[in-house]
Amino acid sequence: MPVIYVLDVPEFMPVVEAARGKPECQITHSDKGYWRVESASEIVLNRREMGLKPAVWYGSFTGGLDGEITEFGREEVRVIGTNRPL
Protein backbone atom coordinates (compact mmCIF):
# COMPACT_ATOMS: atom_id res chain seq x y z
CA MET A 1 0.00 0.00 0.00
CA PRO A 2 1.78 3.18 -1.14
CA VAL A 3 1.62 6.34 0.94
CA ILE A 4 2.80 9.79 -0.13
CA TYR A 5 3.30 12.48 2.50
CA VAL A 6 2.64 15.87 0.92
CA LEU A 7 3.85 19.02 2.67
CA ASP A 8 0.94 21.26 3.63
CA VAL A 9 2.00 24.30 1.62
CA PRO A 10 0.12 25.97 -1.26
CA GLU A 11 2.65 24.87 -3.89
CA PHE A 12 1.87 21.18 -3.28
CA MET A 13 -1.93 21.42 -2.91
CA PRO A 14 -2.45 20.39 -6.57
CA VAL A 15 -1.02 16.98 -5.61
CA VAL A 16 -3.61 16.60 -2.84
CA GLU A 17 -6.42 17.82 -5.11
CA ALA A 18 -5.41 15.41 -7.89
CA ALA A 19 -5.39 12.52 -5.41
CA ARG A 20 -8.85 13.55 -4.17
CA GLY A 21 -10.11 13.01 -7.71
CA LYS A 22 -8.93 9.40 -7.70
CA PRO A 23 -11.43 7.01 -6.07
CA GLU A 24 -8.65 4.62 -5.04
CA CYS A 25 -6.91 7.30 -2.92
CA GLN A 26 -7.69 8.16 0.68
CA ILE A 27 -6.58 11.59 1.91
CA THR A 28 -6.01 12.53 5.54
CA HIS A 29 -4.50 15.64 7.10
CA SER A 30 -1.95 15.60 9.88
CA ASP A 31 -1.52 18.31 12.47
CA LYS A 32 2.23 17.90 11.82
CA GLY A 33 2.17 19.86 8.57
CA TYR A 34 1.47 17.34 5.86
CA TRP A 35 -1.26 15.49 3.95
CA ARG A 36 -1.24 11.70 3.71
CA VAL A 37 -2.23 10.22 0.34
CA GLU A 38 -2.77 6.47 0.56
CA SER A 39 -4.00 3.89 -1.94
CA ALA A 40 -4.60 0.15 -2.02
CA SER A 41 -3.13 0.16 -5.55
CA GLU A 42 -0.44 2.22 -7.26
CA ILE A 43 -0.63 6.02 -7.19
CA VAL A 44 -0.18 7.69 -10.58
CA LEU A 45 0.16 11.47 -10.85
CA ASN A 46 0.57 13.64 -13.93
CA ARG A 47 2.45 16.94 -13.72
CA ARG A 48 0.57 18.71 -16.53
CA GLU A 49 -2.84 17.66 -15.20
CA MET A 50 -1.91 19.20 -11.85
CA GLY A 51 -0.44 22.33 -13.44
CA LEU A 52 2.87 22.02 -11.58
CA LYS A 53 6.00 23.71 -12.80
CA PRO A 54 9.02 21.37 -13.10
CA ALA A 55 10.76 22.68 -9.97
CA VAL A 56 7.72 21.94 -7.81
CA TRP A 57 7.16 18.62 -9.60
CA TYR A 58 10.65 17.38 -8.79
CA GLY A 59 10.17 18.41 -5.16
CA SER A 60 6.87 16.55 -4.79
CA PHE A 61 8.31 13.91 -2.47
CA THR A 62 10.05 16.21 0.00
CA GLY A 63 7.45 15.13 2.59
CA GLY A 64 8.48 11.49 2.18
CA LEU A 65 6.78 8.29 1.10
CA ASP A 66 6.18 4.69 2.05
CA GLY A 67 6.55 2.69 -1.14
CA GLU A 68 8.71 2.65 -4.24
CA ILE A 69 8.82 5.00 -7.19
CA THR A 70 8.70 2.80 -10.29
CA GLU A 71 8.57 5.68 -12.77
CA PHE A 72 9.44 9.33 -12.29
CA GLY A 73 9.56 11.17 -15.57
CA ARG A 74 9.04 14.73 -16.65
CA GLU A 75 5.25 14.25 -16.85
CA GLU A 76 4.24 11.23 -14.77
CA VAL A 77 5.11 9.44 -11.55
CA ARG A 78 4.06 5.97 -10.37
CA VAL A 79 4.36 4.86 -6.76
CA ILE A 80 3.70 1.30 -5.65
CA GLY A 81 3.55 -0.29 -2.22
CA THR A 82 6.23 -2.57 -0.87
CA ASN A 83 5.94 -5.76 1.09
CA ARG A 84 9.07 -5.19 3.09
CA PRO A 85 8.75 -5.41 6.89
CA LEU A 86 9.54 -2.24 8.80
CATH number for the domain spanning 70: value is: 3.90.56.10
| pLDDT for residue 42 | 93
**b/e burial code for range 41-75 (CB count within 10 A of at least 16 → b):** eebbbebeebebeeebbeebbebebbbeeeeeeee
Which ranges of 2-64 does DSSP label H, i.e. alpha helix?
Answer: 13-20, 47-50, 54-57
Residue 86 lies in a domain: no
Instruction: Residue 71: give the domain boundaries.
Output: 3-80
Euclidean distance between the first and final Cα of the chain, in Å? Answer: 13
| pLDDT for residue 69 | 94
How many separate domains does the chain show?
1
pTM for this prediction: 0.88
Question: Digits of tens for pLDDT over the chain (86 positions)?
Answer: 899 999 999 999 999 999 999 999 999 999 999 999 999 999 999 999 999 999 999 999 999 999 999 999 999 999 999 866 55
Residue 32 lies in a domain: yes
